[in-house]
Amino acid sequence: MIRQALRPWSRTTMLPEEFLDWQVRLRRWTMEERNGSPHVGVAPLLLVRRPGVGPGASAHAIVCGLLPAEDQLEKKTAEFRAIYEGAAAEGARAIYDRGIAYMRDYYTSTEGFDPTSITTLLPRDSAAVVALRADFRCALVFHVFDMDDKSELSRLRCQQFNCRAEIHESGPVYENVWWHNALFHGKVEDHVVVRFRHQSSYDTLFGGLEALR
């Protein structure tokens, strides 16, 4: 089930190609070099409207994911579930290790992923979700600032992605994100999947505001 108020602010556009390519390569790198430990590049700030709080908005740290391309969604969900159930008898470590092994071949090309959205899993009654139920307009800010890491993957960036949020409490999108998360964090209850539909994006580094292509 998707809960979203009917409002005119509903246009969806493609994510910038460079951004999606970076996200895929970054996730593959974390699987190969860090055994799945997330890089700051997959942990944006979620900005939601919050009347009465400061300037009328609040910022929440989240970890985001990429959704498989539509024609691969249910197939990938079944594969995530099979990995979990096949290793469940051996315990959480075995599930995690098999999940990492799978993901090393999962993040290979942008063609395998939905080019219009980003996802996250959040507690159903969290402040961020409550705010998104009231107003689905939001933004994700990806900020990487690491003076010690000189690699291209960790280059300095600050990019704002303006989105409309869909809250999924069941269905194919929910199942995919839920089972993906279960491989690394176990089964969770009382959570929802938020799908952020991209609308526009800007480079905001050092006070700038330049549209991304």
- The tens digit of pLDDT for each residue in 129-182 reads 999 999 999 999 999 987 676 677 778 899 999 999 999 999 999 999 999 999
What pLDDT, on a 0 to 100 scale, did the predictor assign at position 3? 47
Kindly compute the dihedral angle of the four CA atoms of residues 109, 112, 118, 123, in this order, to the nearest 10 degrees. Answer: -120
Count of beta carbons in the 10 Å neighbourhood of residue 1: 9
What confidence category does residue 9 fall into, taking pLDDT thresholds of 50, 70 and 90? low
Mean pLDDT of the chain: 93
Q: Where are the domains of the chain?
A: 2-206
* Mean pLDDT score, 61-74: 97
**Interior CA angle at 72 toward 14 and 213, to 5°?**
15
- In angstroms, the CA 124 to CA 122 distance is 6
Q: What are phi and psi of 26, to 5 degrees?
A: -65, -40
What pLDDT, on a 0 to 100 scale, did the predictor assign at position 5? 41
The three-class DSSP label of residue 191 is strand
pTM, two decimal places: 0.92
Encoded amino acid at 163, one letter? C
User: Which among 141, 198, 202, 190 has a CA at the least distance from the CA of 165?
Assistant: 198
Output the CATH code of domain 2-206.
2.30.110.10
User: Which among 125, 106, 107 has a CA at the least distance from the CA of 167?
Assistant: 125
- The tens digit of pLDDT for each residue in 81-92 reads 999 999 999 999
What pLDDT, on a 0 to 100 scale, did the predictor assign at position 40? 93
